[in-house]
Amino acid sequence: MNAKYIFCFLIGLTLAASCSDDAKEKDDDNDPPLITGDPVETGHPNTDYEPAFVGQTRIGSVTTTTVWKKEIITSSLSSPWGVVSLPDGRLLVTQKGGTMRIVTLAGVVSAAITGIPAVNASGQGGLLGLCPDPAFASNRMVYWVFAQSITGGNITAVAKGKLSNDETTIEDADVIYQSNTPHSSTLHYGGRILFDESGNLIVSTGERSVLETRPLAQSVTSSLGKTIRITKDGDPAPGNPTFSGAGALPELYTIGHRNPQGLALHPVTGDVWLGEHGPQGGDELNRLEPGKNYGWPVITYGEEYSGATIGAGIQQQEGMEQPVYYWDPVVAPSGMTFYTGDHVPEWENNLFMTSLSLTHIVRLVIQNNKVVGEERLLASEGQRFRDITQGEDGALYAITDAGRLYRIEKE
């Protein structure tokens, strides 16, 4: 074979390999093209900051084509904060004042469950997020976050206990973790909790809002403004990242958060996603990577409530992560969940977040870890939506500050 034919043969192999790679890339992305309209947000932003990449804010709108319905199951809850589904389909709810309730799908609300350690319900405190043990059906264990008053001030704390067989009390309640930085502030506790794929707990903590504690979101010796990863007994979880700096806490998972009130596991990747309140503008959705710094208060897409610039007024800095998505004006995001049901097929793997300030439920279509579409649901209800979960029946269940519990499902 002469040189000319060898050259042509090699070129052919290169082109074939290139085409094969292209085909693989296309095969790996099975998401159909998404048709979007104008962004759902039409209000004037608080800042004139430029996003770091196209689609980081005000993505195009989407509209659910499947006919769906909403139903108010009950309106008799008292300031509910967290809602989860139990294995038998009923819902377990925390109420800010310090009690739990069980709600049937017919809307029957149980008596208050006793045995829960005292909470400080002032301000943004109280009984906050919760999650049942993955083996709840056999061990009946529940884990929750609450605002606790101790010597020196208030903290974000984590407790666990066993729901009694008669469902009237939490037995052997035990506080397994306490933030190490008490303060008199009654704001920004964070407060969500979930199990990751390894069976350890991820907990979000706020930086307590005040200017004195705000910088501690960047301190590796303080548990404020962080996500932490602990075992069921409250110890630092094996495999946690190591942060540089003397005295770095071994329970830290990520740092640099403001007031993170949303946590959810992606149903396909297992990644932990987090939603957090920004100041005036700059609410964020982040995909957490262990050991990473998410920037607050050094970088932010928001401003002070007075309109003043925060810090140096920068939105990007080396070594600090960009939010996957942000809102300006804010939506005040609280609880969130990924949808894995079959009631509304087009919602598969979409993220649903509750909005407090704009009184709706946010639906986000996510592809390749980027937000590609946004929709607002139940905006006409005029409710401050606090948390949302998927029931065992495949429907979505959302609670509001006014005490309502909604079911959302296919018509």
Residue 55 lies in a domain: yes
* Segment 65-104, tens digit of pLDDT: 999 999 999 999 999 999 999 999 999 999 999 999 999 9
DSSP state for residue 345 in the 8-state scheme: G
Which residue in 44, 183, 188, 266 is the catalytic one? 188
- High-pLDDT (> 70) share of the chain, %: 92
Tell me what the mean pLDDT of segment 296-313 comes to: 98
- 70 in the same domain as 6: no
pLDDT of res. 223: 98
Residues 141, 220 share a domain? yes
188 part of the active site: yes
Supply the pLDDT for residue 30.
58
- Greater confidence, 20 or 339? 339
pLDDT of residue 31: 60
Same domain, residue pair 108 and 10? no
Mean pLDDT confidence for 276-284: 98
| DSSP result, 207-262 | --SSTTTGGGGG-TT--TTEEEEE-TTSSBPTT-----STT--TTEEEE--SEEEE
> Domain containing 236 — which CATH number?
2.120.10.30
Domain match, 177 and 225 both: yes
Does 25 share its domain with 48? Answer: no
- Enclosing domain of residue 15: 1-30
Mean pLDDT over all residues of the chain? Answer: 93
- d(CA 262, CA 356) in angstroms, rounded, equals 12
169 DSSP β-pair partners: 114
User: Same structural domain for residues 325 and 270?
Assistant: yes
26 and 64 in a single domain? The answer is no
Q: Is the pLDDT of residue 125 over 70?
A: yes
Per-residue confidence (pLDDT) for residue 23, from 0 to 100: 34
Tokens of 291: 């050991």
Q: Are residues 20 and 115 in the same domain?
A: no
In this predicted structure, what is the pLDDT of residue 33? 75
| Structural domain includes residue 318 | yes
In whole angstroms, give the CA distance from residue 264 to residue 261. 10
Name the token pair of 200: 């350890």
| CA–CA distance, 127 with 125 (Å, rounded to integer) | 7
Per-residue pLDDT at 359 exceeds 50:
yes
pLDDT in tens, 193-219: 999 999 999 999 999 999 999 999 999
Say yes or no: 383 and 279 in one domain: yes
Q: Does residue 220 lie within any of the structural domains?
A: yes
Q: Poorest-confidence range of 8-22, 39-53, 253-267, 359-373? A: 8-22
Residue with the two structure tokens 């949808």: 339
**What is the C-alpha to C-alpha distance for residues 340 and 319, in angstroms, rounded to an integer?**
34
On whether both 18 and 101 belong to a single domain, the answer is: no
* 8 and 64 belong to one structural domain: no
The structure tokens 């590796």 sit at 220
- Is residue 35 a part of any domain in this protein? no
3-state secondary structure of 358: coil
Looking at the structure, tell me whether residues 96 and 20 fall in a common domain: no
- Model confidence pLDDT, tens digit, residues 234-247: 999 999 999 999 99
Number of domains the chain is built from: 2
Confidence of residue 32 (pLDDT cuts 50, 70, 90): low
